[in-house]
Amino acid sequence: MNIEDLTPVLESEQRAGIGIIGCADIAVRRALPAIEESPFRLVAVASRSREKAEGVAARAGCKAVAGYERLLELPDIDAVYIPLPNSEHARWARRALEAGKHVLLEKPAVPREDSARSLIALAEELGLLVMENFAFLRHPQHEQARSLLADGAIGELRSYNGVFGIPPTDPAGIKYQADLGGGALWEVGCYPVRAAQEYLGPRTQVLGADLTFDPQRGVDVSGVALLRDGAGVTANCSFGLSHSYRSTYDLWGSEGRLVLEWAFTPSPSARPVLRLQQRDRETRITAPASDQFLGVFTAFHDAVRDPGLRAAHHHELLRQAALMARIREHTLGREPG
């Protein structure tokens, strides 16, 4: 066998194998194309329905597995991506870690701080990674925003305002089912809350929060949360499932304002515009096109290969889970009985 014959084998050994637990729309539409371009080697896709798994696997060129447990038994899978309903995240993340697999959990990872601590403790005990998928953070427009802020383009940051709303969809969908972890806070509210933490300092407090419930569906369909960090920087986060589409945040400083118009869900070919407002002028800065899902799978693969990168992901997951839980606690007295 010559060197050319060995090359595919060596590349296969160097690339971590990944499997997908569940055939959710986000997995088929965004994750599969990104994995194909990422350092990962897609090994298998699992569904409770063999027919569904085979349909997705045929498109992806990988194995089809009927049943999540069977996928976790495959020895050539190093990591799994879990885009199941929110209510299933903690259960299957734990099973995957116990099976020796690194885990990428679709957002929101888990609804409670104790669940996050438990998963992280298990991952660290086993020398594994558990990471939450906020793919939007991997888009270069956010690095541009952080750089502009660090360079003093808007002076000292005073407040953040984030909004994510989407129009109503199928009322039978998972996002409207309380027992599956649906609702506006978990579905869309987590985005502006997570983005806020890129700019807020430590000791973030929840000053107030409120949710509006649909009495027939029994889930929250809109809400708002007001946060403040230890330095007095505030964050207003608004979200909803019964709105026209809006996906934006802005940073208001002592000398200007920076607006990201398409902050959370730009398509891979889109070039979002950042608007920098300083006194009597506005500068429009165009971000490069980028597949943010490719960015997150690349970052996940890097942390699978490099144990030194895992602590930061664990810290981010825990911080987000704790803050989201505190926001939820502020609304408990206003939930329907």
The residues that are catalytic are 107
Helices (H), 163-257: 184, 190-196
Cβ-count burial of 13 within 10 angstroms (0-12 exposed, 13-18 middle, 19+ buried)? exposed
Q: Strand 79-82 and strand 157-165: pairing? A: unpaired
132 bridge partner residues: 105
What span, in angstroms and rounded, lies between the C-alpha atoms of 111 and 164? Answer: 19
Question: What's the half-sphere exposure (Cβ side, CA atoms, 13 Å) at 210?
Answer: 2
Residue entry with tokens 């063999």: 50
d(CA 232, CA 333): 27
Distance between terminal CA atoms of the chain? 71
